[in-house]
Structure 1
Amino acid sequence: MFFRPKILDCFSSYNKAQFAKDVLAGLTVGIVALPLAMAFAIASGLKPEAGIFTAIIAGSLISLLGGSRVQIGGPAGAFIVIVYGIVERYGVSNLLIATALSGVFLILMGAFRLGTLVRFIPVAVIIGFTNGIAFLIGLSQIKDFFGLSIEKMPAQFFPAVRTLYQAADTVNLFALAVASGSIALIIFWKLFQDRLGYLRHLPGTVIAMVVATVITTVLELPIDAIGSRFGGIPAGLPHFEWIPMSWSTTQFMVAPALTLALLGAIESLLCARIADGFIHDRHDSNQELMAQGIANIVTPFFSGMPATGTIARTVTNVESGASTPIAGIVHALVLFIIVLFAAPLAKDIPLASLAAILMYVAWNMGEWRKFIDLKQFRLPYRITILSVFALTVVLDLTVAVEVGLLLAFITFIYRISSLSRCEIADAQAYPALANLQGRIDAYRIYGAIFFGAVKLLEKIEANLPTQTLLLDLKNVIYVDSSGMDTIAELAHLCKVRKVNFIICGLDHQPYEIAQRSGFIDQLPNDCLYPDIVSGIEAVTHS
């Protein structure tokens, strides 16, 4: 079926016990999502409510329409760098346009069944840009972590470093103490969570945020809070508001929208695959992309930000006992209730504590051990991962992915071409050749004959025999159009020089492309044989 949300397949054996577990998981994830949603929005240059609104609206839509049983959608740390850059360069109104356009691209990707293609992106590229994004998230939080007096952080790496350096003497020791205490409490909670009894169900990030808020309020510490910078969070969801669009502005949002769509697709499908491993189920990647697309089209009309599948909240959802998308819907309802009844309390949340939470998220987001273990990998892998990381940090994620894919493509071609080889068939392997010395040159080709390996045939072309050339292609698994053209050129050259040309073992894909290209029809009847033995016998009896 073209459009079939996973939730429709979850009710055939659904019972009260599963519903209770889903509700409990939804409550847990909703509490976990609260500080993260606000922190992601603030770090992206938006108001904190943008993250909460996105978690509520996009989170419910992704769970309701998605192709995974347990994936939780909402704002993600991976988007921070991209969104911040769009906001700084084009403004919030154009971010809403880019988000809606990215939703259209995601729907098209799912509709054209392109979900599986995302899996073809090499691991080195994914690790490179993931670590790069994590590094930039950490860099962006230094300002609030240390309480530096910086009016606005630049989006680019070098200007950001220069701005931080120039403001290094404006450290707020109270903010630094709150941030350091928050991250210490999060780590402590993580290490000793199993010994905390019933409290172990509470996430360390929420505990750190609550404790930091209480201490800051009671002691009246002179540090920035949500209320002092953003004026608090409105109690209730925003009203639908049409996004003003015109071609003069929308055309400049196509490239940022493609970046958001690509990153959202990668992030959500990676998250869904991780979730599959936990629950031993298989997600529908194309359905998931279409759900992500719908969510990203809808949320901008309610002042939201880009959304995707979120690994940390999805894993929390699974570990809390969730088994159906009901948990994701409950998580959105929990956030909605918190906004309705507890929004005024958010004004006292210190930004230093949220910066500490994001520092912790960035550290866990990056696969830093891969950098330590780089010496275990081949040089092309090392070059790819380090290039993508450096380009993500210094230039742009889009450029980094493009260069990374190019490097991976070149590496792949080189490796496949190196696996293809050509051997001379000798009399030891085929005794019948002993009586044909000087009359026939027989070659056995292995691997693939494609544009990166046509040099194998070009070497044969440079040393043509005087009477008969035999090619055994039994061990050739793939031939592309360039390879087929090279074989045809070799056959034509043999015809011009009056050399008998014989092909043996042409089967499966090579035979199919030979038929489609018309090469088979151009060959005389006595030139094609099923194997090398019958080809040699034909030369013997000629």
Structure 2
Amino acid sequence: MTLSGPIDFKPKLISALRDYSFTKFKSDLIAGIVVGIVALPLAVAFAIASGVSPTVGLITAIIGGFLVSALGGCSVQIGGPTGAFIVIVYGIIENFGLEGLAIATFMAGVILVLMGLFHLGTVIKFIPYPIVVGFTAGIALTIFSTQMNDFFGLGLTNMPAAFIPKWGMYFSNFGNIDIVSTIVGVVSLLIIISVPMISKKLPGALIAIILVTLGVWLLNSNFPEYHVATIGDRFGDLVTTIPAPKGFVFSMDTINLLLPSAFTIAVLGSIESLLSATVADGITGSKTGSNTELIGQGVANMMVPFFGGIPVTGAIARTMTNITNGGRTPIAGVIHAIVLLVIFLFMMPLINLVPMACLAAVLIVVSYNMSGWRTVRAILKNPKSDVTVLVVTFLLTVIFDLTIAIEIGLLLAVILFLRRVTENVQIKVYSEQLDIAEGTESTSHEVLDVAKGVQVYEIDGPFFFGIATKFDEMMRTTMGDKPKVRIIRMRKVPFIDATAVHNLEILIRASQEEGIHVVLSGVNDNVRSVLEHVGIDKLIGKDHICPHISLAVKMANKIVWQLDEETSVAE
């Protein structure tokens, strides 16, 4: 991974078209149609749960899905709105309105593009797994909690956004449960669960929506006293045309307010899309261009806000549906967007008839699948540091919000990681004799005689700020008699940071003031270039930076011998 070099932007669509064939097109066509049908109820459900109209969800899936497939770095990735964004989108709309959401989404797109341009695609994959699991499980529980109102037909308005007050309101109004809406929700749930038992390829959510919508339409038409709330009741007649692009006004105050939310959208989107791409690569054997994928996702998120859309990312469930139905190139994703466009233009009146309780059942199943409770159970058997990160991220996501959860979760993971690294890095002290082969797999041993007055310190691991303090403390506690030469053996130091360089410089200057020579041994090229850049080589002399411990010990012994000779002459 580098932060410089040529732009890594090579969309898979371009390479796929070079050797495209009619056989591939047939497979992509079937997969694209199936994925488009599967994506329909999810786009509608995610939009409503996020606090926007179903139209917005479909527009996002059409425009965002097309751009992710056309510009992305994964051959089979399907983009669109996902459940992971429900919590953050709902919170942004509540606090900053739809224009605030548009600005935050656009800013997130810019961040994603910059991440791709600076070759950070591989870095995102290194975000600790307990953090991903923790906030995914937290999002799942939050989505589940938002669906109780529609599932049980409580008819509550002005619901609090916070988790605990929301459930308090539910419990205080559970006497108002609408039995008919609850039956619709339960029947929908049973259909969604049972359909995959018949065939894995059948979209359970879509079949539930079709059957239950038909049943509720008949019920509402013939028995209006048992009316079940539908999308049309909630949102009125839905628009059936793609809206004209609409701009939004930026200001520094708005940017400062929305930057944390934009950062959360970008991090969440990059994690979800690259995780989806990694899973897809494992199945198809292809290789995703991580940086290209981030740039493609970024462009999609920069474009959809102009049409009123919500954040876009790679969707694991839809991507897997694409793969299992034969999709192998981005053409399948493009076809999926076209299918959604056709449905949007010609079938939107039918969307008005879908019961809210049925959509709630769809999202309850989505939240269950997102929860990853088996993974959570497995991580709870891991070291306490992983469990701590998981639990803290989960609780922060549920009780507070996703932005805080990601920021504190990452901070906690970094702190625990640094502590673990610091504990594992060893600093050894030698005197009188030193085995060159110690700490290696070599079977030949060469023991060096270290003159009296020479101390050898070996740092086994990265020399960064945490170890710099530990090394400084070690020097102070193991000095004993004042030495004449200090050898710092750095053969196992892969890198050195500014704090370690600063501490090393202080040590050298303090040693020189006391008449103590400092010799560095086994410095690799990377570390040496850093030391030369800050002038350490000039401070101690280039000859005092030795490539091997035998040369360093030989030099140290010679220095001690010369100092002893000078002392004898003086006496």
- Specify if TM > 0.5: yes
CA spacing shift, 1:318–1:538, aligned 2, 3 Å: same
2:230 maps to which of 220, 225, 231: 225
Q: Indicate yes or no: 2:492 matched with 1:475.
A: yes
Q: Output the CA distance in 2 between the equivalents of 1:248 and 1:467.
A: 59
Shift of 1:449: 1.8
1: distance between equivalents of 2:478 and 2:244? 74
Q: What is the CA distance between 1:428 and its match in structure 2?
A: 5.9
Q: In the alignment, which of 514, 527, 531 is matched to residue 514 of structure 1?
A: 531
Q: Aligned in 2, Cα 1:249/1:233: closer, same or farther, shift over 3 Å?
A: farther
Structure 2 contact 124–270 (Cα < 8 Å) conserved:
yes
- What amino acid does structure 1 have at the position aligned with 2:57? G
Q: Separation in 2 of the partners of 1:131 and 1:284?
A: 28
Q: Say if 1:62 and 1:527 are closer, same or farther in 2 by CA, change over 3 A.
A: closer
AA in 1 matched with 2:132: I
Structure 1 position 494, deviation (Å): 2.2
Deviations 1:113-167 (A, max 9, x none): 3333322321111111111111100110111111112013222222212221222
* Cα distance change on mapping 1:492 and 1:96 into 2, 3 Å: closer
Change (3 A) 1:253 1:433: closer
Q: Deviations over 1:63-115 (max 9, x none)?
A: 11222111111111111111111222222233223323322333333333333
2:475 counterpart residue number: 460
Structure 2 unaligned blocks of 5 or more? 1-5, 221-225, 436-445, 562-571
How far apart in 2 are the matches of 1:342 and 1:439?
88
> 1:426: Cα distance to partner?
5.2
Contact 2:195 2:202 (C-alpha < 8 Å) held by counterparts: no
> What is aligned with 2:440?
none
Cα 1:33/1:132, change in 2 over 3 Å: same
- Corresponding residue for residue 128 of structure 2: 122
Give the C-alpha shift of residue 489 in structure 1. Answer: 2.1
Runs of 4+ in 1 over 6 A off after TM superposition: none
- Tell me the equivalent position of 2:453: 439
Partner Cα separation in structure 1 for residue 447 and residue 296 of structure 2? 64
Q: Deviations over 1:267-320 (max 9, x none)?
A: 222222222222211222222222222222322232322211111101111111
2:548 corresponds to which letter in structure 1? D
Q: In the alignment, residue 204 of structure 1 is paired with which amino acid?
A: G
Distance 2:250 2:211 in 1: 47
Q: How has the CA–CA distance of structure 1 residues 160 and 498 changed in structure 2, closer, same or farther, with 3 Å as cutoff?
A: same
TM-score under structure 1 length normalisation: 0.93
The separation in 2 between residues aligned to 1:284 and 1:173, in whole angstroms, is: 51
**Aligned AA for 1:240?**
A
User: In terms of mean alpha carbon deviation, does 393-402 or 467-476 score higher?
Assistant: 467-476
**Is residue 266 from structure 1 mapped to residue 271 from structure 2 by the alignment?**
yes
Equivalent residue pairs, number: 534
1:11 counterpart = 2:9: no
Q: Name the CA distance, whole Å, in 1 between partners of 2:542 and 2:94.
A: 69
SS at match of 1:201: coil
What is the DSSP-based 3-state SS (H/G/I as helix, E as strand, rest coil) of the residue aligned with 1:11? helix
- Displacement of 1:486 in angstroms is 2.0
In 2 relative to 1, CA 531–276 (structure 1 residues): closer, same or farther, beyond 3 Å? same
TM score, norm. by length of structure 2: 0.88
The 5 A counterparts of 1:290-439 are: 290-425=295-430, 429-430=434-435, 436=451, 438-439=452-453
Q: Which residue of 2 aligns with 1:202?
A: 202
Question: Could you tell me whether the CA contact under 8 Å between 1:182 and 1:212 is conserved in 2?
Answer: yes
Aligned to 2:550: 533
Are residues 1:140 and 2:155 paired?
Answer: no
Structure 1 unaligned runs (5+)?
Answer: 194-199
Q: How far has the Cα of 1:241 moved from its partner?
A: 4.0
Using the aligned pairs only, state the percent identity: 38
Please give the per-residue CA displacement for 1:304-361, whole angstroms capped at 9, x wherever unaligned.
2221111110111111110111111111111122223322222221111111110101
**TM-fit CA distance, 1:527:** 3.0
Please state how far the C-alpha of 1:435 moved relative to its aligned partner.
Answer: 7.3
Please give the root-mean-square deviation of Cα atoms over the aligned residues, in Å: 2.1
1:160 aligns with 2:162: no
Do the aligned partners of residues 381 and 540 (structure 1) sit closer, same or farther apart at CA in structure 2, a change above 3 Å counting? same
- 1:467-510 deviations in Å (ceiling 9; x for gaps): 33222222222222221222222222222222233322222322
Change (3 A) 1:528 1:280: same
| CA spacing shift, 1:178–1:428, aligned 2, 3 Å | same
